[in-house]
Amino acid sequence: MRPGFVSDNNDCNDANADVNPAATEICNGIDDDCDTQIDEGGVCIPACFSKLYGASPFQDSLWAIDTSNFAVLERKSPKLAGFTVTGINGLTRNPTNGLFYAIVKVSGAPNNNRKLCRYNPVVDSLYEVGNLGANFSSITFSPSGQLFGVTGNGATPPETLFEPTNANTTLLTALGNGDDGEVICYNPDDNMLYHWSGNGTVVYEKILPTAPYTITGITSGPPNGEIFGAVYIGNGTFLTSTISSNFRGSHHDRYLVWSNGQ
């Protein structure tokens, strides 16, 4: 008898050791956790989800991007029950369980009422985790599943690194102050967090993800173009997007010179 295989009424499939009440629901058309629901929203983990999505703080949309030519493949408009979504920041994925998380702005709420939500790309729905209580602009996970978040200029305190697990925020350290916009992204190859800030006055730096959260400056100054999002693509390189809807490369120790205008 293998673990997870129980020959009684509590196990909904005695022929499959991976189907049992303690199992995790994944997106496979099967009731994995024996709760009579199949691939339920907000819990189901996509077994394979390879699309790159971009989010905008000014729109309710997510845009799937073809990274070979930067063309838009698909638009999604996630809904959050009881609210009207007006913007989505910092979409990221927990590498330990495959769940997606995002910072969500809703109508009728001030900047300090941004919500941490799970996102299910299969059913295109958001599920609230909690109210962040501050103007958060970006989130990213470490390989261990630790969530990091950064606040923007309109927050109190601004431009600060937090651990916002389950929307309960723990202040970690102040970051460099650029003109506007705060984006962070984790680099698993060197175990460092990277931070972009500003437009006219640009800050690009890396942060040790453990106490004392030592900050190392990489550059200050050009190129302009406020960074709105970043994803690590390997070989020491991030793919970043700007306020002008341009894609740009950032190396772990310098800005790259190539870009692709869209």
Residue 95: per-residue pLDDT: 87
Count, residues in the chain? 262
Spatial separation of the C-alpha atoms in residues 229 and 49, rounded to whole Å: 19
Q: In terms of domains, do 170 and 112 share one?
A: yes
Tell me, yes or no, whether 1 lies in a domain. Answer: no
Q: What's the CA dihedral at 45, 48, 54, 59 to 10 degrees?
A: -40
Output the pTM of the full model: 0.77
Whether 246 is covered by a domain: the verdict is no
Residue 204, domain member (yes or no): yes
pLDDT at 122: 77
- State residue 112 phi and psi, 5-degree precision: -80, 10
Let me know whether 34 and 146 are in one domain. no
Any residues with CB less than 8 A from the CB of 8 and at least 6 apart, and which?
none
pLDDT at residue 54 in the model: 80
Residue 159 DSSP one-character state: S
pLDDT less than 70: residues of the chain:
1-10, 24, 26-29, 38-51, 110-112, 179-181, 220-224, 245, 249-262
Preceding peptide of 212 cis, ω within 30°? yes
CA angle 187, 53, 256 (to 5 degrees): 45
Tell me, yes or no, whether 34 and 110 share the same domain: no
Q: Are residues 25 and 100 in the same domain?
A: no
Q: Is residue 251 part of a domain?
A: no
Is 241 a member of any domain? Answer: no
pLDDT on residue 27:
62
Whether the bond between 222 and the residue before it is cis, its omega within 30 degrees of 0, is no
157 prior amide bond cis, ω within 30: yes
Q: What is the per-residue DSSP string for 7-54?
A: -STT-S-TT-TT-STTSPPEESSS-TTSSS-SS-TTT-EES----EEE
Residues 33 and 95 in one domain: no
- Verify that 33 and 132 share a domain, yes or no: no
Residues 44, 97 within the same domain: no
Give the range of the structural domain holding residue 170, as residue numbers without chain letter: 51-184+192-220
Pairing verdict, β 52-55 and 170-174? unpaired
What pLDDT does 3 receive?
Answer: 45
Number of domains in the chain: 2
pLDDT value for 182 = 84
pLDDT at 129 (0 to 100):
94
Please tell me the predicted confidence (pLDDT) of residue 258. Answer: 40
Beta bridge partners of 132: none
Question: Is 3 a member of any domain?
Answer: no
22-69: pLDDT as tens digits: 776 766 667 878 888 766 655 555 554 556 778 878 888 888 887 777
Q: How far apart are CA 192 and CA 207, in angstroms?
A: 6
26-27 and 45-46 beta bridge pairing: parallel
In a domain, 134, yes or no: yes
Claim to verify: residue 111 and residue 31 sit in the same structural domain? no
> Is 242 a domain residue?
no
